[in-house]
Amino acid sequence: MPLINIVVALIVVGVALWLINNFIPMASSIKTILNVVVVVAVAVWVLQAVGLWSRVTSYRFLN
């Protein structure tokens, strides 16, 4: 996936999250949960897009 597509997607997700946080009234705890879920989902997507997700999922802590 080209780098420009990843950057554009990150900008779009960031702006959407900012709009939701600023203009949709909801409890602070729900906003926090939403932010964490979106950040984790975007991090996983970026890792998959750059091909590093298989390294993360195959990493072993103990032998």
- Going from the C-alpha of 40 to that of each of 22, 23, 33, 46, 63, the distances in angstroms are 20, 22, 11, 10, 27
Total domains present in the chain = 1
| 13 found inside a domain | yes
- Residue 21 domain boundaries: 3-57
Asked whether residue 62 is domain-assigned, the answer is no
Decide if 63 is inside a domain: no
For the entire predicted model, the pTM comes to 0.82
Q: What is the pLDDT of residue 8?
A: 97
Domain annotation covers residue 44? yes
pLDDT surpassing 80 at residue 34: yes
Within 10 angstroms of residue 37's Cβ, the number of other Cβ atoms is 10
In a domain, 7, yes or no: yes
